[in-house]
Amino acid sequence: MSLKATLTKRKYKKVRNDEVQEPVENPEMPGMPENPENPNEGEGQPINLAELGNYFDMARNNYFEANRVIFMTGPVTWELGIHIIQKLCFYDDGTKRPITIYISSPGGECDVGFAIIDCINKLKSKHIEVNTICIGPCSSMASVILASGTIGHRYAFPSSRIMIHQAGITEVGGKLDDINIIQHELQVWTDTMNKIFKKQTGKSLDELRKLTSYDNYMSASEAKKLGIIDKISAKMI
């Protein structure tokens, strides 16, 4: 069935370039006939696909809001971090219903990631279940956020790739003292990540220091064995 037949079952008429059509719209649903029970009403009027698309977007967003779903995609920046934190705070509404975070990210800024994890831990302290689900890549700081979900409720899709490593920096400049300060911060961030992994995986700090001393890529099954996730599943929660 064509899109035209599926959406309206209406015919289209040719319009001269200098003609302007004024559709008769339902005020509650722009672009739709005023009386949906009369399929002939508004015959010849074009469908406002942009408005229809807006309704689909609204329905999708309402579904995610109702089910307390958050998507964390792309690099972990402050822009993304504030969005995630706002959502987590919004869902802390006293209902104690589970929250689900889908993660697909190459990682990013450590301080942003730790702020997100602080919010997750606050929710968990209130006995709110936080599901974390890896879709595709989940590297660096994103893998720490993945591991920080409620134990027993951390998932990865079968083809996911997870990577853990030490904190790093791409550009270094300044005097020797400045570089020493940066080195100290990198060590603090790395130690913090390893302490989170220790708490969430049960592995020793010595073992984790070895595992994060290089770009350690792993499959979903390897991440499960390490304790970063609990289950491998493509089921959408």
End-to-end Cα, the chain, rounded Å: 31
SS3 for 185?
Answer: helix
Q: Which candidate in 140, 143, 148, 160 is catalytic?
A: 140
DSSP structure class, residue 182: H
Closest CA to 155 of 231, 228, 87: 231
Q: Which candidate in 139, 143, 148, 165 is catalytic?
A: 165
Closest CA to 189 of 80, 81, 111, 77: 111
Is 127 among the residues known to form the active site?
Answer: no
Scan for tokens 């689909």, then name that residue: 56
Phi (first) and psi of residue 126, to 5 degrees: -95, 10
Under a CB-based contact definition with an 8 Å cutoff, are residues 160 and 135 in contact? yes
Scan for tokens 């020797």, then name that residue: 176
Is 139 among the residues known to form the active site?
Answer: no
Question: Would you please indicate which residues are annotated as catalytic (active-site) residues?
Answer: 140, 165
